[in-house]
Amino acid sequence: MSDITASTPTLHGGSPARSAPITAVGPIAWVRANLFSGWLSTAVTLVLGYLIVRAVMGFVDWAFVNAIWSVPVNGNGVAQTQACRELHGTGACWAVVTEKHRFMLFGTYPFEQHWRPALVCLLFVALYIVSSMRSFWNWRLIPIWAGTLTAIGILMWGGVLGLPYVPQERWGGLPITLILATFGLAFAFPLSILVALGRRSNLPAIKALCVLYVELIRGVPLISLLFMASVMFPLFLPEGMNIDKLLRAQIAIILFAGAYLAEVVRAGLQSLPKGQYEAADAMGLSYWQKTGLIILPQALRTVIPPLVNTFIGFFKDTSLVLIIGIFDLLTAGKTAIVEPSWQGFGVEVYVFVGLIYLVFCFAMSKYSQGLEAELNRHRRR
Protein backbone atom coordinates (compact mmCIF):
# COMPACT_ATOMS: atom_id res chain seq x y z
CA MET A 1 0.00 0.00 0.00
CA SER A 2 2.78 2.37 0.87
CA ASP A 3 4.40 2.19 -2.62
CA ILE A 4 1.05 2.96 -4.27
CA THR A 5 0.56 6.14 -2.30
CA ALA A 6 4.11 7.12 -3.12
CA SER A 7 3.62 6.79 -6.86
CA THR A 8 0.15 8.39 -7.02
CA PRO A 9 0.07 11.17 -4.50
CA THR A 10 -3.44 12.28 -3.63
CA LEU A 11 -4.34 15.65 -2.23
CA HIS A 12 -6.78 14.85 0.53
CA GLY A 13 -6.26 11.16 0.92
CA GLY A 14 -9.21 10.36 -1.39
CA SER A 15 -9.17 8.05 -4.38
CA PRO A 16 -6.06 8.25 -6.63
CA ALA A 17 -6.20 10.62 -9.64
CA ARG A 18 -7.67 8.96 -12.70
CA SER A 19 -6.05 9.39 -16.10
CA ALA A 20 -7.93 11.57 -18.57
CA PRO A 21 -10.44 9.78 -20.84
CA ILE A 22 -9.04 8.53 -24.13
CA THR A 23 -11.34 10.90 -26.00
CA ALA A 24 -9.45 13.85 -24.48
CA VAL A 25 -5.79 12.84 -24.71
CA GLY A 26 -3.70 10.43 -26.77
CA PRO A 27 -3.79 9.39 -30.39
CA ILE A 28 -7.55 8.82 -30.57
CA ALA A 29 -8.27 12.30 -29.31
CA TRP A 30 -5.72 13.70 -31.77
CA VAL A 31 -7.39 11.91 -34.68
CA ARG A 32 -10.79 13.15 -33.58
CA ALA A 33 -9.61 16.74 -33.26
CA ASN A 34 -7.48 16.93 -36.39
CA LEU A 35 -9.13 14.60 -38.88
CA PHE A 36 -12.78 14.01 -37.91
CA SER A 37 -13.84 17.14 -36.01
CA GLY A 38 -17.14 17.51 -37.88
CA TRP A 39 -19.06 16.04 -40.80
CA LEU A 40 -17.33 18.39 -43.26
CA SER A 41 -13.90 17.61 -41.87
CA THR A 42 -14.65 13.89 -41.97
CA ALA A 43 -15.79 14.06 -45.59
CA VAL A 44 -12.69 16.05 -46.60
CA THR A 45 -10.42 13.61 -44.76
CA LEU A 46 -12.00 10.59 -46.44
CA VAL A 47 -11.93 12.07 -49.95
CA LEU A 48 -8.38 13.39 -49.58
CA GLY A 49 -7.21 10.16 -47.99
CA TYR A 50 -8.59 8.17 -50.93
CA LEU A 51 -6.97 10.52 -53.45
CA ILE A 52 -3.60 10.41 -51.65
CA VAL A 53 -3.61 6.62 -51.55
CA ARG A 54 -4.49 6.49 -55.25
CA ALA A 55 -1.79 9.04 -56.15
CA VAL A 56 0.91 7.35 -54.06
CA MET A 57 0.04 3.93 -55.51
CA GLY A 58 0.09 5.35 -59.03
CA PHE A 59 3.44 7.01 -58.39
CA VAL A 60 4.96 3.85 -56.89
CA ASP A 61 3.73 1.85 -59.90
CA TRP A 62 5.21 4.40 -62.30
CA ALA A 63 8.48 5.08 -60.50
CA PHE A 64 9.34 1.63 -59.12
CA VAL A 65 7.10 -1.30 -60.06
CA ASN A 66 6.91 -0.77 -63.83
CA ALA A 67 10.14 1.20 -64.13
CA ILE A 68 13.07 0.14 -66.28
CA TRP A 69 16.44 0.86 -64.74
CA SER A 70 18.81 -0.03 -67.57
CA VAL A 71 18.71 -0.86 -71.25
CA PRO A 72 21.24 -2.67 -73.45
CA VAL A 73 23.61 -0.50 -75.49
CA ASN A 74 24.72 -1.79 -78.88
CA GLY A 75 28.24 -1.61 -80.31
CA ASN A 76 27.92 1.94 -81.66
CA GLY A 77 27.05 3.28 -78.24
CA VAL A 78 23.39 3.72 -79.22
CA ALA A 79 20.99 2.69 -76.48
CA GLN A 80 18.22 0.23 -77.34
CA THR A 81 15.20 1.97 -75.83
CA GLN A 82 12.42 -0.16 -77.37
CA ALA A 83 11.61 -1.69 -73.98
CA CYS A 84 11.11 1.78 -72.54
CA ARG A 85 8.91 2.90 -75.43
CA GLU A 86 6.69 -0.16 -75.04
CA LEU A 87 5.74 1.03 -71.54
CA HIS A 88 3.73 3.90 -73.13
CA GLY A 89 4.17 6.02 -70.05
CA THR A 90 2.92 3.43 -67.56
CA GLY A 91 6.40 3.19 -66.05
CA ALA A 92 9.42 5.42 -65.69
CA CYS A 93 12.43 4.85 -67.89
CA TRP A 94 15.18 5.51 -65.33
CA ALA A 95 17.60 4.03 -67.84
CA VAL A 96 17.97 7.52 -69.27
CA VAL A 97 19.28 8.65 -65.87
CA THR A 98 21.58 5.67 -65.32
CA GLU A 99 22.93 6.07 -68.83
CA LYS A 100 23.23 9.87 -68.90
CA HIS A 101 23.80 10.92 -65.30
CA ARG A 102 27.52 11.62 -65.78
CA PHE A 103 26.69 13.87 -68.74
CA MET A 104 23.93 15.68 -66.84
CA LEU A 105 26.13 16.25 -63.78
CA PHE A 106 29.39 17.21 -65.48
CA GLY A 107 28.52 18.07 -69.12
CA THR A 108 31.26 17.59 -71.66
CA TYR A 109 34.10 17.63 -69.13
CA PRO A 110 36.70 14.95 -70.13
CA PHE A 111 35.27 11.65 -68.91
CA GLU A 112 38.39 10.31 -67.13
CA GLN A 113 38.74 13.67 -65.28
CA HIS A 114 35.21 13.63 -63.82
CA TRP A 115 36.57 13.26 -60.29
CA ARG A 116 37.63 16.91 -60.50
CA PRO A 117 34.16 18.49 -60.97
CA ALA A 118 32.81 15.95 -58.46
CA LEU A 119 35.37 17.14 -55.91
CA VAL A 120 34.47 20.73 -56.78
CA CYS A 121 30.81 20.05 -55.97
CA LEU A 122 31.81 18.53 -52.63
CA LEU A 123 34.02 21.56 -51.89
CA PHE A 124 31.08 23.85 -52.61
CA VAL A 125 28.83 21.88 -50.28
CA ALA A 126 31.51 21.96 -47.56
CA LEU A 127 31.83 25.71 -48.07
CA TYR A 128 28.09 26.15 -47.63
CA ILE A 129 28.06 24.04 -44.47
CA VAL A 130 30.97 25.93 -42.92
CA SER A 131 29.39 29.28 -43.81
CA SER A 132 26.13 28.25 -42.20
CA MET A 133 27.75 27.56 -38.81
CA ARG A 134 27.43 30.49 -36.48
CA SER A 135 30.81 29.92 -34.86
CA PHE A 136 32.40 30.82 -38.22
CA TRP A 137 30.52 34.13 -38.61
CA ASN A 138 33.55 36.35 -38.31
CA TRP A 139 36.64 37.41 -40.26
CA ARG A 140 37.70 33.75 -40.65
CA LEU A 141 35.07 33.28 -43.36
CA ILE A 142 36.97 35.56 -45.75
CA PRO A 143 40.17 33.43 -45.98
CA ILE A 144 38.03 30.26 -46.04
CA TRP A 145 36.05 31.54 -49.02
CA ALA A 146 39.12 32.86 -50.81
CA GLY A 147 40.99 29.59 -50.29
CA THR A 148 38.12 27.35 -51.38
CA LEU A 149 37.31 29.39 -54.45
CA THR A 150 40.99 29.33 -55.50
CA ALA A 151 41.12 25.55 -55.03
CA ILE A 152 37.95 25.25 -57.12
CA GLY A 153 39.49 27.33 -59.89
CA ILE A 154 42.64 25.17 -59.90
CA LEU A 155 40.60 21.95 -59.97
CA MET A 156 38.33 23.09 -62.79
CA TRP A 157 40.97 24.61 -65.05
CA GLY A 158 43.91 22.44 -64.17
CA GLY A 159 47.16 23.06 -66.00
CA VAL A 160 49.12 23.05 -62.75
CA LEU A 161 50.09 20.33 -60.21
CA GLY A 162 50.02 17.73 -62.98
CA LEU A 163 46.33 18.24 -63.74
CA PRO A 164 45.64 18.42 -67.48
CA TYR A 165 44.26 21.75 -68.65
CA VAL A 166 40.50 21.78 -69.36
CA PRO A 167 39.23 24.81 -71.32
CA GLN A 168 36.21 26.56 -69.88
CA GLU A 169 34.06 25.67 -72.93
CA ARG A 170 34.08 22.05 -71.79
CA TRP A 171 32.78 22.71 -68.29
CA GLY A 172 29.17 21.92 -67.68
CA GLY A 173 26.42 20.59 -65.46
CA LEU A 174 26.21 20.96 -61.70
CA PRO A 175 29.59 22.73 -61.20
CA ILE A 176 28.46 25.53 -63.54
CA THR A 177 25.24 26.00 -61.56
CA LEU A 178 27.19 26.09 -58.28
CA ILE A 179 29.86 28.41 -59.73
CA LEU A 180 27.27 30.88 -61.06
CA ALA A 181 25.38 30.87 -57.75
CA THR A 182 28.38 31.02 -55.41
CA PHE A 183 30.56 33.53 -57.27
CA GLY A 184 27.44 35.57 -57.94
CA LEU A 185 26.73 35.61 -54.21
CA ALA A 186 30.33 36.34 -53.23
CA PHE A 187 30.42 39.47 -55.41
CA ALA A 188 26.78 40.57 -55.22
CA PHE A 189 26.69 40.64 -51.42
CA PRO A 190 29.40 43.31 -50.89
CA LEU A 191 27.97 45.26 -53.84
CA SER A 192 24.51 45.12 -52.30
CA ILE A 193 25.76 46.46 -48.96
CA LEU A 194 27.40 49.44 -50.68
CA VAL A 195 24.26 50.12 -52.73
CA ALA A 196 21.99 49.84 -49.69
CA LEU A 197 24.20 52.26 -47.75
CA GLY A 198 24.24 54.56 -50.77
CA ARG A 199 20.47 54.52 -50.96
CA ARG A 200 20.25 55.62 -47.31
CA SER A 201 22.91 58.28 -47.72
CA ASN A 202 22.35 62.03 -47.34
CA LEU A 203 24.38 62.76 -50.46
CA PRO A 204 21.83 63.36 -53.23
CA ALA A 205 23.98 62.31 -56.21
CA ILE A 206 25.00 58.98 -54.64
CA LYS A 207 21.46 58.29 -53.50
CA ALA A 208 20.08 59.00 -56.97
CA LEU A 209 22.60 56.66 -58.61
CA CYS A 210 21.74 53.81 -56.21
CA VAL A 211 17.97 54.30 -56.58
CA LEU A 212 18.31 54.34 -60.37
CA TYR A 213 20.39 51.15 -60.36
CA VAL A 214 18.10 49.21 -58.01
CA GLU A 215 14.83 50.26 -59.63
CA LEU A 216 16.06 49.73 -63.20
CA ILE A 217 17.35 46.22 -62.48
CA ARG A 218 14.29 45.22 -60.47
CA GLY A 219 11.95 46.48 -63.16
CA VAL A 220 13.25 44.21 -65.92
CA PRO A 221 13.37 40.41 -66.10
CA LEU A 222 16.69 38.59 -65.62
CA ILE A 223 16.41 37.27 -69.17
CA SER A 224 16.74 40.73 -70.64
CA LEU A 225 19.95 41.22 -68.63
CA LEU A 226 21.26 37.85 -69.80
CA PHE A 227 20.44 38.74 -73.41
CA MET A 228 22.24 42.00 -72.85
CA ALA A 229 25.26 40.09 -71.55
CA SER A 230 25.29 37.68 -74.45
CA VAL A 231 24.40 40.04 -77.35
CA MET A 232 25.22 43.59 -76.32
CA PHE A 233 28.24 43.12 -74.09
CA PRO A 234 30.69 42.45 -76.94
CA LEU A 235 29.71 45.85 -78.36
CA PHE A 236 30.59 47.61 -75.10
CA LEU A 237 34.21 46.48 -75.00
CA PRO A 238 37.10 47.86 -77.05
CA GLU A 239 38.00 45.93 -80.17
CA GLY A 240 40.06 42.82 -79.61
CA MET A 241 39.10 42.56 -75.93
CA ASN A 242 36.82 39.59 -75.42
CA ILE A 243 35.26 38.18 -72.28
CA ASP A 244 33.95 34.64 -72.45
CA LYS A 245 30.25 33.90 -72.27
CA LEU A 246 30.24 32.38 -68.78
CA LEU A 247 31.91 35.43 -67.27
CA ARG A 248 29.49 37.74 -69.09
CA ALA A 249 26.51 35.81 -67.73
CA GLN A 250 28.16 35.86 -64.30
CA ILE A 251 28.42 39.66 -64.44
CA ALA A 252 24.73 39.92 -65.40
CA ILE A 253 23.78 37.65 -62.49
CA ILE A 254 25.91 39.68 -60.05
CA LEU A 255 24.28 42.94 -61.17
CA PHE A 256 20.82 41.34 -60.90
CA ALA A 257 21.36 39.76 -57.49
CA GLY A 258 23.05 42.91 -56.17
CA ALA A 259 19.90 44.96 -56.73
CA TYR A 260 17.61 42.45 -55.00
CA LEU A 261 19.98 41.85 -52.07
CA ALA A 262 20.40 45.62 -51.66
CA GLU A 263 16.69 45.95 -50.94
CA VAL A 264 16.91 43.23 -48.28
CA VAL A 265 19.93 44.89 -46.66
CA ARG A 266 18.16 48.27 -46.80
CA ALA A 267 15.23 46.77 -44.89
CA GLY A 268 17.71 45.73 -42.20
CA LEU A 269 19.22 49.22 -42.07
CA GLN A 270 15.77 50.74 -41.74
CA SER A 271 14.79 48.37 -38.95
CA LEU A 272 17.50 49.76 -36.65
CA PRO A 273 16.24 52.36 -34.22
CA LYS A 274 17.47 55.87 -34.90
CA GLY A 275 19.08 55.97 -31.46
CA GLN A 276 21.81 53.61 -32.66
CA TYR A 277 22.88 56.06 -35.36
CA GLU A 278 22.67 59.02 -32.99
CA ALA A 279 24.59 57.25 -30.21
CA ALA A 280 27.36 56.34 -32.65
CA ASP A 281 27.51 59.96 -33.84
CA ALA A 282 27.59 61.17 -30.28
CA MET A 283 30.63 59.00 -29.59
CA GLY A 284 32.41 60.78 -32.40
CA LEU A 285 32.78 57.76 -34.67
CA SER A 286 33.46 58.42 -38.33
CA TYR A 287 30.96 57.27 -40.97
CA TRP A 288 32.82 54.06 -41.76
CA GLN A 289 33.47 53.29 -38.08
CA LYS A 290 29.80 53.84 -37.32
CA THR A 291 28.71 51.68 -40.24
CA GLY A 292 31.21 48.88 -39.73
CA LEU A 293 31.12 48.61 -35.94
CA ILE A 294 27.56 49.62 -34.96
CA ILE A 295 25.12 49.57 -37.87
CA LEU A 296 26.00 46.64 -40.15
CA PRO A 297 26.54 43.96 -37.47
CA GLN A 298 23.05 44.61 -36.11
CA ALA A 299 21.32 45.28 -39.42
CA LEU A 300 22.68 42.19 -41.20
CA ARG A 301 21.81 39.92 -38.29
CA THR A 302 18.13 40.85 -38.49
CA VAL A 303 17.92 40.19 -42.24
CA ILE A 304 19.73 36.84 -42.40
CA PRO A 305 16.51 34.82 -42.93
CA PRO A 306 15.26 36.98 -45.85
CA LEU A 307 18.81 36.99 -47.22
CA VAL A 308 18.80 33.18 -47.30
CA ASN A 309 15.41 33.27 -49.02
CA THR A 310 16.83 35.63 -51.63
CA PHE A 311 19.77 33.24 -52.09
CA ILE A 312 17.31 30.40 -52.76
CA GLY A 313 15.53 32.44 -55.42
CA PHE A 314 18.84 33.39 -56.88
CA PHE A 315 20.13 29.78 -56.92
CA LYS A 316 17.03 28.79 -58.87
CA ASP A 317 17.40 31.76 -61.21
CA THR A 318 20.84 30.65 -62.37
CA SER A 319 18.95 28.05 -64.43
CA LEU A 320 17.90 30.89 -66.76
CA VAL A 321 21.32 30.80 -68.41
CA LEU A 322 19.81 27.91 -70.40
CA ILE A 323 18.21 30.53 -72.63
CA ILE A 324 21.56 32.00 -73.71
CA GLY A 325 23.04 28.54 -74.13
CA ILE A 326 25.33 28.16 -71.12
CA PHE A 327 25.80 24.56 -70.09
CA ASP A 328 24.44 24.46 -66.53
CA LEU A 329 22.65 21.57 -64.84
CA LEU A 330 19.26 22.22 -66.48
CA THR A 331 20.79 22.76 -69.94
CA ALA A 332 22.72 19.50 -69.58
CA GLY A 333 19.47 17.72 -68.68
CA LYS A 334 17.66 19.23 -71.64
CA THR A 335 20.56 18.32 -73.97
CA ALA A 336 20.68 14.73 -72.71
CA ILE A 337 17.28 13.99 -74.29
CA VAL A 338 18.08 15.54 -77.67
CA GLU A 339 19.66 12.26 -78.80
CA PRO A 340 17.05 10.41 -80.93
CA SER A 341 17.07 7.21 -78.89
CA TRP A 342 16.33 9.13 -75.69
CA GLN A 343 13.74 11.55 -77.07
CA GLY A 344 10.48 11.57 -75.17
CA PHE A 345 11.91 10.76 -71.72
CA GLY A 346 11.87 14.36 -70.55
CA VAL A 347 9.78 13.70 -67.45
CA GLU A 348 12.37 11.30 -65.96
CA VAL A 349 15.23 13.70 -66.67
CA TYR A 350 13.40 16.70 -65.20
CA VAL A 351 12.49 14.67 -62.10
CA PHE A 352 16.17 13.81 -61.64
CA VAL A 353 17.40 17.40 -62.22
CA GLY A 354 14.54 18.72 -60.06
CA LEU A 355 15.58 16.45 -57.18
CA ILE A 356 19.08 17.98 -57.19
CA TYR A 357 17.69 21.52 -57.09
CA LEU A 358 15.20 20.42 -54.42
CA VAL A 359 17.94 19.05 -52.15
CA PHE A 360 19.90 22.31 -52.25
CA CYS A 361 16.91 24.64 -51.94
CA PHE A 362 15.14 22.56 -49.28
CA ALA A 363 18.29 22.50 -47.14
CA MET A 364 18.64 26.27 -47.43
CA SER A 365 14.96 26.82 -46.72
CA LYS A 366 14.98 24.63 -43.58
CA TYR A 367 18.18 26.35 -42.45
CA SER A 368 16.57 29.76 -42.90
CA GLN A 369 13.49 28.71 -40.90
CA GLY A 370 15.63 27.34 -38.09
CA LEU A 371 17.76 30.46 -38.05
CA GLU A 372 14.71 32.70 -37.95
CA ALA A 373 13.38 30.88 -34.91
CA GLU A 374 16.78 31.05 -33.23
CA LEU A 375 17.38 34.73 -33.95
CA ASN A 376 13.90 35.64 -32.73
CA ARG A 377 14.31 33.76 -29.47
CA HIS A 378 14.85 36.94 -27.47
CA ARG A 379 11.55 38.32 -28.76
CA ARG A 380 9.52 35.30 -27.74
CA ARG A 381 7.95 35.23 -24.34
Partner 1 sequence: MSDATVDPRFRRKPPKRPLRLSWADERVRGIVWQLVVVGIVGSIIYWLWSNTVHNLEVRRIATGFGFLGREAGLPIAEHLIPYDPTDTYLRALTVGVLNTLKVAVVGIVLATILGTAIGIARLSKNFLVAKIAAFYVEVIRDLPLLLQLLFWYTIMQGLPGPRQALKPLDGVFLSNRGFRLPALVWEGAHTAAVLACLAGIVATWLYARSARAKQMADGQPRRVWPAAIALIIGLPLLVWQAMGAPWAIDWPALRGFNFQGGMSMSPEYAALLIGLVTYTAGFIAEVVRAGILSVSQGQWEAAQALGLRHGPVLRLIVLPQALRVIIPPMTSNYLNLTKNSSLAVAIGYQDIVSIANTTLNQTGQAIEGIAIIMLVYLTISLSISLFMNWYNAKIALVER
Which residues form the interface with partner 1 (CB under 8 A)? 33-35, 37, 41, 44-45, 48-49, 52, 89, 202-206, 209, 216, 218-224, 227-228, 231-232, 234-239, 312, 316-317, 319-320, 322-323, 330, 334, 344, 346-347, 350, 353-354, 357-358, 361-362, 365
Q: How far is CA 16 from the centre of its chain?
A: 56
E strands within the chain?
Answer: none
DSSP string, 63-94: IIIS-B----B-TTS-B--HHHHTTTTSS-BT
C-beta of 183 vs 314, nearer to partner 1: 314
Whether the CB-CB separation of 280 and 208 falls below 8 Å is answered with: no
Nearest approach in angstroms of CB 231 to partner 1 is 4
The nearest distance, CB 22 to partner 1, in angstroms, is 18
In the complex, the smallest distance separating the C-beta of residue 15 from partner 1, rounded to whole angstroms, is 36
Residue 237 C-beta: closest distance to partner 1, Å: 6
User: In three state form, how does the secondary structure of 321-332 look?
Assistant: HHHHCCCEHHHH
Long-range CB pairs of 334-340 (<8 Å, 24+ gap) are 335/103, 336/96, 336/100, 336/103, 336/104, 337/96
Q: Which C-beta is closer to partner 1: that of 52 or that of 60? A: 52
> Which residue from 110, 21, 338, 147 is spatially nearest to 346, judged by alpha carbons?
338
Query: Are 152 and 120 a contacting pair, CB within 8 Å?
Result: yes
**Own/partner long-range contacts of 270-276 (Cβ < 8 Å, ≥24 apart):** 270/200, 271/299, 271/302, 271/303, 272/298, 272/299, 272/302
Contact yes or no for 78/142 (Cβ under 8 A) = no
By beta-carbon proximity to partner 1, the closer residue of 13 and 240 is 240
In the complex, the smallest distance separating the C-beta of residue 49 from partner 1, rounded to whole angstroms, is 7
Our CB check for partner 1 shows the closer of 136 and 362 to be 362
Q: Which is nearer to partner 1, 14 or 204 (CB)?
A: 204
CA distance 231 to 248: 10
In the complex, least distance from residue 214 CB atom to partner 1, rounded to whole angstroms: 13
Decide whether 99 or 328 has the Cβ nearer to partner 1: 328
Q: Which is nearer to partner 1, 166 or 353 (CB)?
A: 353
Residue 132: CB minimum distance to partner 1, A: 17
